[in-house]
Amino acid sequence: MLRLPALKRLVTPLAALIALGLTLASGPAEALSRIKDLASVEGVRTNQILGYGIVVGLNGTGDTLNNTPFTKQSLQAMLERLGVNTRGANMRTANVAAVMVTANLPPFATQGTKLDVTVSALGDAKSLQGGTLLATPLLGADGEVYAVSQGPVAISGFQAEGEAAKITRGVPTVGRIANGGLVEREIDFALNKLKTLRLSLRNPDLTTARRIAAAINDFLGGDTAEPTDPSTVALQIPVRFQGNMIRLLTDIEQLRVEPDQLARVVIDERSGIIVMGKDVRVSTVAVAQGNLTVTISEQPQVSQPNPFARGRTVVTPQTNVKVDTEGGNKLALVNESVTLAELVDGLNALGIGPRDLISILQAIKTAGALQAEIEVM
Protein backbone atom coordinates (compact mmCIF):
# COMPACT_ATOMS: atom_id res chain seq x y z
CA MET A 1 0.00 0.00 0.00
CA LEU A 2 1.44 3.39 -1.06
CA ARG A 3 1.85 6.06 1.52
CA LEU A 4 0.59 9.58 0.95
CA PRO A 5 3.96 11.18 -0.07
CA ALA A 6 4.66 8.39 -2.56
CA LEU A 7 1.14 8.67 -3.93
CA LYS A 8 1.63 12.40 -4.49
CA ARG A 9 4.92 11.77 -6.33
CA LEU A 10 3.11 9.30 -8.60
CA VAL A 11 0.06 11.45 -9.27
CA THR A 12 2.00 14.60 -10.24
CA PRO A 13 3.87 13.09 -13.25
CA LEU A 14 0.71 11.26 -14.29
CA ALA A 15 -1.29 14.49 -14.32
CA ALA A 16 1.44 16.19 -16.35
CA LEU A 17 1.37 13.38 -18.92
CA ILE A 18 -2.42 13.57 -19.17
CA ALA A 19 -2.29 17.36 -19.64
CA LEU A 20 0.41 16.96 -22.31
CA GLY A 21 -1.68 14.35 -24.10
CA LEU A 22 -4.74 16.60 -24.06
CA THR A 23 -2.68 19.48 -25.43
CA LEU A 24 -1.26 17.37 -28.26
CA ALA A 25 -4.68 15.96 -29.05
CA SER A 26 -6.35 19.35 -29.15
CA GLY A 27 -3.61 21.03 -31.21
CA PRO A 28 -4.40 19.60 -34.68
CA ALA A 29 -8.15 19.66 -34.00
CA GLU A 30 -8.08 23.45 -33.84
CA ALA A 31 -7.24 23.57 -37.58
CA LEU A 32 -10.27 21.46 -38.50
CA SER A 33 -13.57 23.02 -39.53
CA ARG A 34 -17.05 21.59 -39.72
CA ILE A 35 -18.54 20.89 -43.14
CA LYS A 36 -21.40 23.07 -41.93
CA ASP A 37 -19.03 26.04 -41.95
CA LEU A 38 -17.35 25.15 -45.25
CA ALA A 39 -20.30 24.38 -47.51
CA SER A 40 -24.00 25.01 -47.90
CA VAL A 41 -26.73 22.73 -49.21
CA GLU A 42 -27.77 23.65 -52.73
CA GLY A 43 -31.37 24.80 -52.72
CA VAL A 44 -31.36 25.82 -49.06
CA ARG A 45 -30.84 29.52 -49.63
CA THR A 46 -32.07 33.01 -48.78
CA ASN A 47 -33.96 35.05 -51.38
CA GLN A 48 -33.99 38.84 -51.65
CA ILE A 49 -37.34 40.61 -51.93
CA LEU A 50 -38.11 44.30 -52.30
CA GLY A 51 -40.95 46.73 -52.78
CA TYR A 52 -41.85 50.40 -53.26
CA GLY A 53 -43.85 52.09 -50.51
CA ILE A 54 -44.78 55.30 -48.75
CA VAL A 55 -43.85 56.46 -45.25
CA VAL A 56 -46.28 58.90 -43.64
CA GLY A 57 -46.34 60.82 -40.37
CA LEU A 58 -43.01 62.62 -40.79
CA ASN A 59 -42.62 65.90 -38.94
CA GLY A 60 -41.97 68.07 -41.98
CA THR A 61 -38.90 66.05 -43.00
CA GLY A 62 -40.46 64.22 -45.93
CA ASP A 63 -40.08 64.62 -49.70
CA THR A 64 -40.65 67.92 -51.46
CA LEU A 65 -43.52 67.06 -53.77
CA ASN A 66 -42.47 69.57 -56.40
CA ASN A 67 -39.00 68.00 -56.61
CA THR A 68 -40.07 64.36 -56.40
CA PRO A 69 -42.95 63.71 -58.82
CA PHE A 70 -43.02 59.97 -58.06
CA THR A 71 -43.90 60.72 -54.44
CA LYS A 72 -46.73 63.00 -55.52
CA GLN A 73 -48.07 60.41 -57.99
CA SER A 74 -47.89 57.64 -55.39
CA LEU A 75 -49.69 59.76 -52.82
CA GLN A 76 -52.46 60.63 -55.28
CA ALA A 77 -52.87 57.00 -56.38
CA MET A 78 -53.09 55.85 -52.75
CA LEU A 79 -55.69 58.45 -51.86
CA GLU A 80 -57.77 57.55 -54.92
CA ARG A 81 -57.82 53.90 -53.85
CA LEU A 82 -59.19 55.11 -50.54
CA GLY A 83 -61.90 57.19 -52.25
CA VAL A 84 -60.22 60.63 -52.05
CA ASN A 85 -59.92 62.56 -55.32
CA THR A 86 -56.91 64.89 -55.35
CA ARG A 87 -56.38 65.27 -59.10
CA GLY A 88 -55.57 68.89 -59.95
CA ALA A 89 -55.16 69.89 -56.31
CA ASN A 90 -52.05 71.72 -55.14
CA MET A 91 -50.47 69.33 -52.62
CA ARG A 92 -47.72 70.76 -50.39
CA THR A 93 -47.41 68.25 -47.58
CA ALA A 94 -43.90 67.50 -46.31
CA ASN A 95 -44.92 64.59 -44.11
CA VAL A 96 -44.71 61.89 -46.81
CA ALA A 97 -41.65 60.12 -48.25
CA ALA A 98 -41.26 57.53 -50.98
CA VAL A 99 -39.10 54.59 -49.85
CA MET A 100 -37.67 51.31 -51.03
CA VAL A 101 -38.33 48.36 -48.72
CA THR A 102 -35.95 45.38 -48.77
CA ALA A 103 -35.87 42.11 -46.85
CA ASN A 104 -34.36 38.62 -46.95
CA LEU A 105 -36.76 35.70 -47.26
CA PRO A 106 -35.19 32.81 -45.31
CA PRO A 107 -35.36 29.24 -46.64
CA PHE A 108 -38.49 27.23 -45.79
CA ALA A 109 -40.32 30.34 -44.54
CA THR A 110 -44.00 29.46 -44.11
CA GLN A 111 -47.03 31.70 -44.37
CA GLY A 112 -47.28 34.00 -41.38
CA THR A 113 -43.53 34.07 -40.70
CA LYS A 114 -42.39 37.56 -39.68
CA LEU A 115 -39.39 39.27 -41.27
CA ASP A 116 -37.22 42.25 -40.45
CA VAL A 117 -37.32 44.84 -43.24
CA THR A 118 -35.10 47.79 -44.15
CA VAL A 119 -36.65 51.07 -45.27
CA SER A 120 -34.57 53.52 -47.36
CA ALA A 121 -35.63 56.97 -48.55
CA LEU A 122 -35.90 57.36 -52.31
CA GLY A 123 -36.44 61.12 -52.66
CA ASP A 124 -35.07 64.18 -50.89
CA ALA A 125 -36.50 63.43 -47.45
CA LYS A 126 -34.32 64.65 -44.60
CA SER A 127 -35.30 62.03 -42.03
CA LEU A 128 -37.64 59.08 -41.57
CA GLN A 129 -37.87 59.54 -37.82
CA GLY A 130 -41.36 59.01 -36.47
CA GLY A 131 -42.71 57.74 -39.79
CA THR A 132 -44.98 54.77 -40.43
CA LEU A 133 -44.68 52.56 -43.48
CA LEU A 134 -47.99 51.81 -45.17
CA ALA A 135 -48.80 48.32 -46.45
CA THR A 136 -46.13 47.53 -49.06
CA PRO A 137 -46.02 44.31 -51.11
CA LEU A 138 -42.54 42.77 -51.38
CA LEU A 139 -41.74 41.08 -54.67
CA GLY A 140 -39.19 38.47 -55.66
CA ALA A 141 -37.07 38.29 -58.81
CA ASP A 142 -39.95 36.53 -60.58
CA GLY A 143 -42.33 39.46 -59.96
CA GLU A 144 -44.52 37.53 -57.51
CA VAL A 145 -45.53 38.94 -54.12
CA TYR A 146 -44.00 36.93 -51.29
CA ALA A 147 -44.52 39.23 -48.28
CA VAL A 148 -46.24 42.40 -47.13
CA SER A 149 -44.62 44.98 -44.87
CA GLN A 150 -46.09 47.68 -42.64
CA GLY A 151 -45.27 49.37 -39.35
CA PRO A 152 -43.40 52.20 -37.58
CA VAL A 153 -39.88 52.90 -38.79
CA ALA A 154 -37.04 52.95 -36.27
CA ILE A 155 -33.86 54.82 -37.21
CA SER A 156 -30.48 55.00 -35.48
CA GLY A 157 -29.44 58.45 -36.71
CA PHE A 158 -30.84 61.93 -36.33
CA GLN A 159 -30.53 65.36 -37.86
CA ALA A 160 -31.00 68.77 -36.25
CA GLU A 161 -30.49 72.15 -37.89
CA GLY A 162 -30.93 75.83 -37.28
CA GLU A 163 -30.45 79.01 -39.24
CA ALA A 164 -26.65 78.80 -39.38
CA ALA A 165 -25.70 75.28 -38.30
CA LYS A 166 -26.72 71.69 -38.85
CA ILE A 167 -25.68 68.43 -37.20
CA THR A 168 -26.27 64.93 -38.52
CA ARG A 169 -25.41 61.70 -36.74
CA GLY A 170 -25.74 58.36 -38.47
CA VAL A 171 -28.03 58.02 -41.47
CA PRO A 172 -31.51 59.31 -40.64
CA THR A 173 -32.90 58.37 -44.07
CA VAL A 174 -32.54 54.60 -43.51
CA GLY A 175 -34.45 52.65 -40.87
CA ARG A 176 -35.65 49.19 -39.95
CA ILE A 177 -38.93 47.64 -38.90
CA ALA A 178 -38.46 44.68 -36.59
CA ASN A 179 -40.89 41.91 -37.56
CA GLY A 180 -42.41 44.37 -40.02
CA GLY A 181 -42.82 41.88 -42.85
CA LEU A 182 -45.32 39.02 -43.07
CA VAL A 183 -44.74 36.11 -45.44
CA GLU A 184 -47.73 35.54 -47.74
CA ARG A 185 -46.32 33.00 -50.20
CA GLU A 186 -44.07 30.00 -49.61
CA ILE A 187 -41.26 28.86 -51.91
CA ASP A 188 -41.78 25.22 -52.83
CA PHE A 189 -38.69 23.08 -52.20
CA ALA A 190 -39.13 19.40 -51.27
CA LEU A 191 -35.87 18.64 -49.48
CA ASN A 192 -36.92 15.12 -48.38
CA LYS A 193 -37.69 14.06 -51.97
CA LEU A 194 -34.21 14.71 -53.32
CA LYS A 195 -32.32 11.69 -54.67
CA THR A 196 -29.04 13.58 -55.09
CA LEU A 197 -27.66 16.18 -52.68
CA ARG A 198 -25.16 18.83 -53.74
CA LEU A 199 -22.92 20.71 -51.32
CA SER A 200 -21.68 24.11 -52.49
CA LEU A 201 -18.33 25.23 -51.05
CA ARG A 202 -18.18 28.80 -49.83
CA ASN A 203 -14.50 29.02 -50.84
CA PRO A 204 -14.06 26.82 -53.92
CA ASP A 205 -10.97 24.62 -53.76
CA LEU A 206 -10.16 21.24 -55.30
CA THR A 207 -8.35 19.87 -52.24
CA THR A 208 -11.06 20.98 -49.83
CA ALA A 209 -13.79 19.44 -52.03
CA ARG A 210 -11.92 16.13 -52.14
CA ARG A 211 -11.40 16.11 -48.37
CA ILE A 212 -15.10 16.78 -47.77
CA ALA A 213 -16.04 13.89 -50.06
CA ALA A 214 -13.55 11.60 -48.32
CA ALA A 215 -14.90 12.51 -44.87
CA ILE A 216 -18.48 11.81 -45.97
CA ASN A 217 -17.50 8.47 -47.56
CA ASP A 218 -15.67 7.39 -44.40
CA PHE A 219 -18.78 8.21 -42.37
CA LEU A 220 -21.40 6.68 -44.66
CA GLY A 221 -19.30 3.93 -46.22
CA GLY A 222 -18.83 3.37 -49.94
CA ASP A 223 -18.39 5.99 -52.64
CA THR A 224 -21.55 7.99 -52.07
CA ALA A 225 -19.87 11.42 -52.30
CA GLU A 226 -17.84 12.66 -55.23
CA PRO A 227 -16.42 16.15 -55.98
CA THR A 228 -17.62 17.29 -59.41
CA ASP A 229 -15.74 20.61 -59.50
CA PRO A 230 -13.85 22.87 -57.05
CA SER A 231 -17.07 24.26 -55.61
CA THR A 232 -19.45 21.26 -55.64
CA VAL A 233 -19.61 17.87 -53.93
CA ALA A 234 -22.39 15.56 -55.19
CA LEU A 235 -23.85 13.05 -52.75
CA GLN A 236 -26.07 10.08 -53.60
CA ILE A 237 -28.62 9.62 -50.83
CA PRO A 238 -28.18 6.20 -49.14
CA VAL A 239 -31.27 4.02 -48.90
CA ARG A 240 -31.42 4.24 -45.13
CA PHE A 241 -31.61 8.06 -45.29
CA GLN A 242 -34.16 8.42 -48.09
CA GLY A 243 -37.15 10.33 -46.78
CA ASN A 244 -35.16 11.53 -43.76
CA MET A 245 -32.86 14.17 -45.21
CA ILE A 246 -32.67 16.16 -41.98
CA ARG A 247 -31.01 13.27 -40.18
CA LEU A 248 -28.46 12.89 -42.97
CA LEU A 249 -27.61 16.58 -43.07
CA THR A 250 -27.28 16.92 -39.30
CA ASP A 251 -24.83 13.99 -39.29
CA ILE A 252 -22.79 15.21 -42.25
CA GLU A 253 -22.51 18.88 -41.28
CA GLN A 254 -20.77 17.97 -38.00
CA LEU A 255 -17.92 16.11 -39.73
CA ARG A 256 -14.63 17.99 -39.47
CA VAL A 257 -12.29 18.66 -42.40
CA GLU A 258 -9.07 20.62 -42.72
CA PRO A 259 -9.73 23.22 -45.44
CA ASP A 260 -7.03 24.11 -47.93
CA GLN A 261 -6.57 27.52 -49.48
CA LEU A 262 -4.50 29.33 -52.08
CA ALA A 263 -1.47 31.35 -51.08
CA ARG A 264 -2.94 34.79 -51.58
CA VAL A 265 -2.09 38.40 -50.75
CA VAL A 266 -5.09 40.74 -50.64
CA ILE A 267 -4.34 44.43 -51.09
CA ASP A 268 -6.66 47.41 -50.65
CA GLU A 269 -4.74 50.36 -52.06
CA ARG A 270 -7.37 52.90 -51.00
CA SER A 271 -6.99 52.18 -47.28
CA GLY A 272 -3.51 50.63 -47.29
CA ILE A 273 -4.69 47.28 -45.91
CA ILE A 274 -2.61 44.16 -46.61
CA VAL A 275 -3.78 40.64 -45.71
CA MET A 276 -1.53 37.63 -46.32
CA GLY A 277 -2.49 33.96 -46.03
CA LYS A 278 -0.47 31.51 -43.97
CA ASP A 279 0.92 29.74 -47.08
CA VAL A 280 2.49 32.85 -48.61
CA ARG A 281 6.22 32.32 -49.30
CA VAL A 282 8.92 34.53 -50.74
CA SER A 283 12.27 33.56 -52.23
CA THR A 284 15.47 35.32 -51.22
CA VAL A 285 15.38 38.78 -52.72
CA ALA A 286 17.15 42.13 -52.24
CA VAL A 287 14.93 45.23 -51.96
CA ALA A 288 15.79 48.93 -51.98
CA GLN A 289 13.15 51.60 -51.43
CA GLY A 290 13.41 55.35 -51.50
CA ASN A 291 10.94 58.19 -51.79
CA LEU A 292 11.37 61.52 -53.53
CA THR A 293 9.97 64.16 -51.18
CA VAL A 294 9.53 67.75 -52.37
CA THR A 295 8.64 70.35 -49.73
CA ILE A 296 7.53 73.82 -50.84
CA SER A 297 7.05 76.54 -48.22
CA GLU A 298 5.86 80.10 -48.83
CA GLN A 299 7.04 82.92 -46.53
CA PRO A 300 6.03 86.24 -48.16
CA GLN A 301 7.59 89.43 -46.80
CA VAL A 302 5.43 92.52 -46.48
CA SER A 303 7.01 95.98 -46.83
CA GLN A 304 4.90 98.89 -45.60
CA PRO A 305 5.67 102.65 -45.84
CA ASN A 306 6.14 104.79 -42.74
CA PRO A 307 3.10 106.54 -41.27
CA PHE A 308 1.96 109.61 -43.28
CA ALA A 309 4.53 108.79 -45.97
CA ARG A 310 3.65 108.59 -49.59
CA GLY A 311 4.03 105.02 -50.69
CA ARG A 312 2.28 101.70 -50.94
CA THR A 313 2.49 98.28 -49.34
CA VAL A 314 4.60 95.79 -51.30
CA VAL A 315 4.46 92.02 -50.83
CA THR A 316 7.61 90.17 -51.86
CA PRO A 317 7.10 86.42 -52.30
CA GLN A 318 9.75 84.06 -51.00
CA THR A 319 9.59 80.37 -51.87
CA ASN A 320 11.74 77.67 -50.27
CA VAL A 321 11.95 74.36 -52.14
CA LYS A 322 13.54 71.34 -50.45
CA VAL A 323 14.11 68.00 -52.18
CA ASP A 324 14.81 64.85 -50.12
CA THR A 325 15.76 61.73 -52.05
CA GLU A 326 16.56 59.68 -48.92
CA GLY A 327 19.93 58.76 -50.35
CA GLY A 328 20.89 56.90 -47.18
CA ASN A 329 18.63 53.92 -47.98
CA LYS A 330 20.47 50.83 -49.13
CA LEU A 331 19.58 47.39 -50.40
CA ALA A 332 17.92 45.21 -47.77
CA LEU A 333 17.96 41.43 -47.97
CA VAL A 334 14.71 39.55 -47.37
CA ASN A 335 15.67 35.94 -46.77
CA GLU A 336 13.65 33.00 -48.02
CA SER A 337 10.74 32.58 -45.65
CA VAL A 338 9.41 29.36 -44.23
CA THR A 339 6.57 30.76 -42.13
CA LEU A 340 4.33 33.78 -42.41
CA ALA A 341 5.87 35.23 -39.24
CA GLU A 342 9.36 35.15 -40.79
CA LEU A 343 8.07 36.81 -43.95
CA VAL A 344 6.41 39.58 -41.93
CA ASP A 345 9.58 40.08 -39.87
CA GLY A 346 11.65 40.34 -43.03
CA LEU A 347 9.34 42.93 -44.59
CA ASN A 348 9.06 44.90 -41.35
CA ALA A 349 12.86 45.05 -41.21
CA LEU A 350 12.72 47.40 -44.20
CA GLY A 351 11.11 50.02 -41.94
CA ILE A 352 8.47 51.19 -44.42
CA GLY A 353 4.77 51.99 -44.27
CA PRO A 354 1.89 49.89 -45.59
CA ARG A 355 1.48 51.88 -48.81
CA ASP A 356 5.14 51.47 -49.76
CA LEU A 357 4.92 47.81 -48.77
CA ILE A 358 2.12 47.36 -51.32
CA SER A 359 4.41 48.54 -54.11
CA ILE A 360 7.24 46.33 -52.85
CA LEU A 361 5.02 43.24 -52.77
CA GLN A 362 3.88 43.92 -56.33
CA ALA A 363 7.48 44.38 -57.44
CA ILE A 364 8.54 41.14 -55.72
CA LYS A 365 5.69 39.37 -57.51
CA THR A 366 6.85 40.78 -60.84
CA ALA A 367 10.37 39.53 -60.10
CA GLY A 368 8.96 36.03 -59.56
CA ALA A 369 10.07 35.83 -55.94
CA LEU A 370 6.60 35.93 -54.33
CA GLN A 371 4.98 32.49 -54.38
CA ALA A 372 1.43 33.71 -53.97
CA GLU A 373 -1.45 35.27 -55.84
CA ILE A 374 -1.99 39.02 -55.45
CA GLU A 375 -5.59 40.23 -55.40
CA VAL A 376 -6.19 43.97 -55.48
CA MET A 377 -9.53 45.07 -54.06
Buried b / exposed e over 227-261, threshold 16 CB at 10 Å, is beeebbbbbebeeebeeebeebbeebbebebebee
Architecture of domain 190-257: 2-Layer Sandwich (3.30)
pLDDT at residue 213 greater than cutoff 70? yes
- Most confident range (mean pLDDT) of 41-45, 64-68, 131-135 is 131-135
Domain spans in the chain, listed from the N-terminal domain onward: 48-183, 190-257, 265-303+315-376
Summarize pLDDT for 67-81 with one digit per residue, the tens.
888 998 899 889 888
For 290, residues 6+ apart whose C-beta sits below 8 A from its C-beta are 325, 326, 327, 329
Structure confidence at residue 287 as a pLDDT band (50, 70, 90): confident
CA distance 70 to 55: 13
Summarize pLDDT for 249-263 with one digit per residue, the tens.
898 999 999 998 888
Summarize pLDDT for 229-285 with one digit per residue, the tens.
999 999 988 888 887 888 888 989 999 999 988 888 888 878 888 888 888 888 887
Report the range of poorest mean pLDDT among 93-97, 148-152, 347-351: 347-351
Crossing angle between the packed helical segments 206-220 and 245-252, to the nearest 10 degrees: 120
Chain mean position to CA 51: 24
Residue 18 vs residue 49, higher pLDDT: 49
